[in-house]
Amino acid sequence: MTKETTQLPKILYVDDEPINLQLFKFNFQKEYQLLLASSGQEALDILSKEEVKVIVTDLKMPGMNGIELIERIKKQNNTKICMLLSAYDISEARKMGLDESKIYNYIRKPWRRNVVGEILKKALEE
């Protein structure tokens, strides 16, 4: 890790699909120090060791879904900025028990780089 990389803001991206992890990394690795997790538990392990302001998580994952992950993150630290990403409409997330006050933004897959880039930029400015 270079000196420049360590000065970039850290973002944790959580998705059980390896291709989605790589796609996110490919699109944002120059602007952010990216931490990637393939499960909710792996994300929690990373958060126990790393100071991360913004977390972007997929909704539907085995074991612990994105809503459960956000709930656990917010219990530990309510100042974390959490975003939910899904191919499903937000109504699906609501059916799964989403408390919308706990998420900063809901991003629909397939996402566009410029849209997600703007959302991340605004989140980090807050």
Both tokens assigned to 107:
């991003």
Number of compact structural domains in the chain: 1
Q: How confident is the model at residue 3 (pLDDT cuts 50, 70, 90)?
A: very low
Looking at per-residue confidence, does 4 or 69 come out higher? 69
Per the confidence metrics, is the pTM higher than 0.85?
A: yes
Chain-wide mean pLDDT for the chain?
93
Segment 42-66 shows an average pLDDT of 96
Residue 9 φ/ψ region, left for φ over 0, alpha for ψ in the -120 to 50 degree band, beta for the rest: beta
- Does residue 39 surpass a pLDDT of 90? yes
Give pLDDT, residue 6: 66
Asked if pLDDT for residue 5 goes beyond 70, the answer is: no
Residue 109 confidence (pLDDT): 92
User: Within 13 Å, how many C-alpha atoms sit on residue 54's CB side?
Assistant: 23
Domain that holds residue 75: 7-125
**11 belongs to a structural domain:** yes
Evaluate if residue 2 carries a pLDDT over 70. no
Evaluate whether residue 1 is within a structural domain. no
The answer to whether position 62 is within a domain reads yes
Does residue 36 fall inside a structural domain?
yes
How far is 109 from 33, CA to CA, in rounded Å?
Answer: 22
Q: What is the CATH number of the domain that holds 40?
A: 3.40.50.2300
How far is residue 40 CA from its own chain's centroid? Answer: 10
Query: Largest alpha-carbon pair distance within the chain?
Result: 44
Domain membership of residue 2 (yes or no) is no
Q: What is the mean pLDDT of residues 59-88?
A: 95
Selection from 49, 74, 29 nearest residue 57 by Cα: 74
Question: Would the pLDDT of 26 be above 50?
Answer: yes
Length of the chain: 126
